[in-house]
Structure 1
Amino acid sequence: MDIGIDAIGFYTPHYYVDLVKLAKARGDDPDKYTIGIGQDQMAVAPATQDIISMAANAVDALPSARLDGRLGMVIVASESGVDESKAAAITVARLTGLNPWVRAFDIKEACYGATAGLLMARDYVAAHPTKTALVIASDIARYGLASGGEVTQGAGAVAMVISAQPRVLALQDDAVAYTEDIPDFFRPTGMTVPVVDGHYSTAAYLDFVTKIVGQHQVQYHDTITDYAALLFHLPFTKMGKKALAALTDSVRLGQRLTAASQLSRQVGNIYTGSLYLSLLSLLCHDKTMQAGDRIGLFSYGSGAVGEFFSGILAPGFADHIGQAAVIQLLAEREELTIPAYEQMFNAQIPLGDAPAAFPPENSPARFTVGGRRDHARWYRDTTKSMTEGD
Structure 2
Amino acid sequence: MKIGIDKINFFIPHLYVDMNKLALARNVEPAKFTIGIGQEKMAVAPITQDTVTLAANAAVEILTDEDKEKIDTVIFATESGIDHSKAAAIYVHRLLGLKHHARAFEIKEACYGATAAIQLAKGHIALHPDSKVLVLGSDISRYGLHSSGEVTQGAGAVAILISANPKIMTIEEPSVFHTEDIMDFWRPIYSDVAYVDGKFSNEKYISFFQTVWGQFKAETDMTLADFEAICFHMPYTKMGLKALKSVLDEGYNSDQERLLANYDVSKQYSKVVGNIYTGSLYLSLLSLLELNTDLDAGDRIGLYSYGSGAVGEFFSGIIQPGYRDFLQAEKHEKLLKERKELSIEEYEKIFQETLPTDGSALTLSIDEDPADICLAGIDRHMRQYINKNL
TM-score (norm 1): 0.97
1:211 and 1:66, CA in 2 relative to 1: closer, same or farther beyond 3 A? farther
1:129 and 1:43, CA in 2 relative to 1: closer, same or farther beyond 3 A? same
> After the TM superposition, which residues 204-215 of structure 1 pair with which residues of structure 2 at under 5 Å, given as runs?
204-215=204-215
- How far does residue 351 in structure 1 lie from its aligned partner after superposition? 4.4
State the alpha-carbon separation in 2 of the partners of residues 18 and 100 from structure 1: 43
State the alpha-carbon separation in 2 of the partners of residues 46 and 190 from structure 1: 22
State the alpha-carbon separation in 2 of the partners of residues 377 and 72 from structure 1: 25
Instruction: Confirm whether residue 49 of structure 1 aligns to residue 56 of structure 2.
Output: no
Instruction: Confirm whether residue 342 of structure 1 aligns to residue 348 of structure 2.
Output: yes
Counterpart for residue 318 of structure 1: 324
- How far does residue 350 in structure 1 lie from its aligned partner after superposition? 4.2
Counterpart for residue 278 of structure 2: 272
- How far does residue 374 in structure 1 lie from its aligned partner after superposition? 2.2
> After the TM superposition, which residues 14-93 of structure 1 pair with which residues of structure 2 at under 5 Å, given as runs?
14-65=14-65, 67-93=67-93
> After the TM superposition, which residues 188-203 of structure 1 pair with which residues of structure 2 at under 5 Å, given as runs?
188-203=188-203
Q: Is the 8 A contact 2:266 2:284 kept in 1?
A: yes
Instruction: Confirm whether residue 366 of structure 1 aligns to residue 372 of structure 2.
Output: yes
Instruction: Confirm whether residue 260 of structure 1 aligns to residue 243 of structure 2.
Output: no
1:186 and 1:220, CA in 2 relative to 1: closer, same or farther beyond 3 A? same
> After the TM superposition, which residues 143-292 of structure 1 pair with which residues of structure 2 at under 5 Å, given as runs?
143-248=143-248, 250-292=256-298
Q: Is the 8 A contact 1:67 1:98 kept in 2?
A: no
State the alpha-carbon separation in 2 of the partners of residues 10 and 99 from structure 1: 23
Counterpart for residue 253 of structure 2: none
- Per the alignment, in what secondary structure is the counterpart of residue 140 of structure 1? strand
Instruction: Confirm whether residue 101 of structure 1 aligns to residue 107 of structure 2.
Output: no
1:66 and 1:287, CA in 2 relative to 1: closer, same or farther beyond 3 A? farther
> After alignment, is 370-379 or 3-12 more displaced?
370-379
2:306 aligned to which of 292, 295, 300: 300
Q: Is the 8 A contact 2:212 2:313 kept in 1?
A: yes
State the alpha-carbon separation in 2 of the partners of residues 99 and 186 from structure 1: 35
Give CA-to-partner distance per residue, 1:126-163, whole Å, 9 cap, x none.
Answer: 11111110000000001111110001000000000000
Q: Is the 8 A contact 2:357 2:381 kept in 1?
A: no
State the alpha-carbon separation in 1 of the partners of residues 89 and 125 from structure 2: 18
Instruction: Confirm whether residue 120 of structure 1 aligns to residue 120 of structure 2.
Output: yes
State the alpha-carbon separation in 2 of the partners of residues 173 and 236 from structure 1: 28
Unaligned runs of 5+ in 1: 385-390
State the alpha-carbon separation in 2 of the partners of residues 287 and 65 from structure 1: 30
1:268 and 1:361, CA in 2 relative to 1: closer, same or farther beyond 3 A? farther
Q: Is the 8 A contact 1:11 1:61 kept in 2?
A: no
- Per the alignment, in what secondary structure is the counterpart of residue 389 of structure 2? coil
Give CA-to-partner distance per residue, 1:71-130, whole Å, 9 cap, x none.
Answer: 111000000000000000001010111122111100100000000000100110011111
Counterpart for residue 329 of structure 1: 335
Q: Is the 8 A contact 1:46 1:348 kept in 2?
A: no
- How far does residue 327 in structure 1 lie from its aligned partner after superposition? 0.9
State the alpha-carbon separation in 1 of the partners of residues 128 and 223 from structure 2: 33
Alpha-carbon RMSD: 1.1
Counterpart for residue 355 of structure 1: 361
Letter in 2 for 1:177: F
- How far does residue 63 in structure 1 lie from its aligned partner after superposition? 3.8
- Per the alignment, in what secondary structure is the counterpart of residue 67 of structure 1? helix
The count of residues paired between Structure 1 and Structure 2 equals 384
Q: Is the 8 A contact 2:304 2:314 kept in 1?
A: yes
Letter in 2 for 1:38: G
- How far does residue 65 in structure 1 lie from its aligned partner after superposition? 4.5
Identical counterparts, % of pairs: 50
Letter in 2 for 1:36: G
- Per the alignment, in what secondary structure is the counterpart of residue 262 of structure 1? coil
Q: Is the 8 A contact 1:10 1:61 kept in 2?
A: no
- Per the alignment, in what secondary structure is the counterpart of residue 46 of structure 1? coil
Q: Is the 8 A contact 1:361 1:368 kept in 2?
A: no
- How far does residue 186 in structure 1 lie from its aligned partner after superposition? 1.2
- Per the alignment, in what secondary structure is the counterpart of residue 246 of structure 2? helix
State the alpha-carbon separation in 2 of the partners of residues 372 and 201 from structure 1: 36
Q: Is the 8 A contact 1:39 1:266 kept in 2?
A: yes
State the alpha-carbon separation in 1 of the partners of residues 36 and 273 from structure 2: 17
State the alpha-carbon separation in 2 of the partners of residues 328 and 270 from structure 1: 19
1:190 and 1:355, CA in 2 relative to 1: closer, same or farther beyond 3 A? farther
Q: Is the 8 A contact 2:269 2:283 kept in 1?
A: yes
Unaligned runs of 5+ in 2: 250-255
Misfit runs of 4+, over 3 Å? 350-354
- How far does residue 67 in structure 1 lie from its aligned partner after superposition? 2.2
- Per the alignment, in what secondary structure is the counterpart of residue 79 of structure 1? coil
1:375 and 1:175, CA in 2 relative to 1: closer, same or farther beyond 3 A? same
- How far does residue 364 in structure 1 lie from its aligned partner after superposition? 2.1
Counterpart for residue 139 of structure 1: 139
Give CA-to-partner distance per residue, 1:318-348, whole Å, 9 cap, x none.
Answer: 1112111111111111000110111111113
TM-score (norm 2): 0.97
Letter in 2 for 1:185: F
State the alpha-carbon separation in 1 of the partners of residues 357 and 23 from structure 2: 30
